[in-house]
Amino acid sequence: MTTVSAIDREKGTAFLPRFDAQGLLIAIAVDSITREILMVAYMDEEALAKTRETGLAHFHSRSRGKLWLKGETSGHFLRVQETRVDCDQDALVMLVKPEGPACHTGATSCFYRKLEGEELAPIAG
Amino acid sequence: MTTVSAIDREKGTAFLPRFDAQGLLIAIAVDSITREILMVAYMDEEALAKTRETGLAHFHSRSRGKLWLKGETSGHFLRVQETRVDCDQDALVMLVKPEGPACHTGATSCFYRKLEGEELAPIAG
């Protein structure tokens, strides 16, 4: 077993993804052109491997307990163009080319509302 | 006990944050000017309440098991200017004014490296 220190993760050049106690890390998808945040979900080791192998974003569905190819039913795949890694390597930002609305509601982004007091209001544009 | 349906969460105007089995939701901080993703962490109910009350981003530290005011030691607070909510209300995007580098390494953003093959490379700019 190899021990990986916090310094290795922060300063090193090795990709050493840190999955949490549930075996997950956070993966944020951002439109590579508009830089809008499209969605956020979780990846386990399998989803990360499939994403890297295919270039299409895969996640781990916690509700269904299984691998989830984003777009598998809608055809709205997210093509990964660049993957960024945070300091402690437990979160990723993927710059993607979306092949349709990223949200299952039909919205471009899942973040289509903002908090105004106790209520939610649509985001203009 | 009130039952909240998926439709209420997706289409309604009520803020009904959905904490997971660990009592957490994902909170992403984005620079309100540059739109760069600065960091991502978790909020529990207490951290969300404190953030809304003070206008300063608070998180729940899973490693320390307690409330964490971002900037409490560094002074690099994140002033929340807008909070966006995703379709199923289990993730937030905060547009913030950072009062210093968001990353404890001194980087503007925690996402200062990208994946190139099996290695990590600095992000230019």
Residue A32 forms part of a structural domain: yes
Higher-pLDDT residue of B7, B76: B76
Question: Domain of A114: which CATH number?
Answer: 3.10.20.810
Domain that holds residue B25: 6-122
**CA-based nearest distance A1→chain B, Å:** 19
Q: What's the mean per-residue pLDDT of chain B?
A: 95
pLDDT in tens, B12-32: 899 999 999 999 999 999 999
Q: What is the pLDDT of residue A31?
A: 98
Q: Which residues contact A90 (CB under 8 A, 6 or more apart)?
A: A17, A18, A19, A20, A25, A26
pLDDT in tens, A60-69: 999 999 999 9
Residue of A nearest to B86 (CA): A111
Q: What is the pLDDT of residue A17?
A: 96
Helix, strand or coil for residue B102? Answer: coil
- How many Å apart are CA B18 and CA B16, to the nearest integer? 6
Higher-pLDDT residue of B33, A12: B33
Residues of B in contact with A39 (CB under 8 A): 86
Residue B1 forms part of a structural domain: no
Residue B23 forms part of a structural domain: yes
Identify which of B20, B62, B86 has the shortest CB distance to residue A110.
B86
Band of residue A85 on the pLDDT scale cut at 50, 70, 90: very high
Instruction: Please state, for a pLDDT cut of 70, what percent of chain A lies above it.
Output: 98
- Check whether A1 has a pLDDT greater than 60: no
CA angle A34, A37, A42 (to 5 degrees): 140
Tokens of B69: 């005011």
Q: Give how many domains chain B has, as a whole number.
A: 1
Q: What is the pLDDT of residue A125?
A: 59
In this structure, the strands spanning A25-31 and A91-98 are parallel
Residue A1 forms part of a structural domain: no
**A67 interface with B at CB cutoff 8 Å:** no
Task: Give all strands (DSSP E) within B1-125, no chain letters.
Answer: 25-31, 37-43, 58-61, 66-69, 78-85, 91-98, 113-116, 119-122
Band of residue B2 on the pLDDT scale cut at 50, 70, 90: low
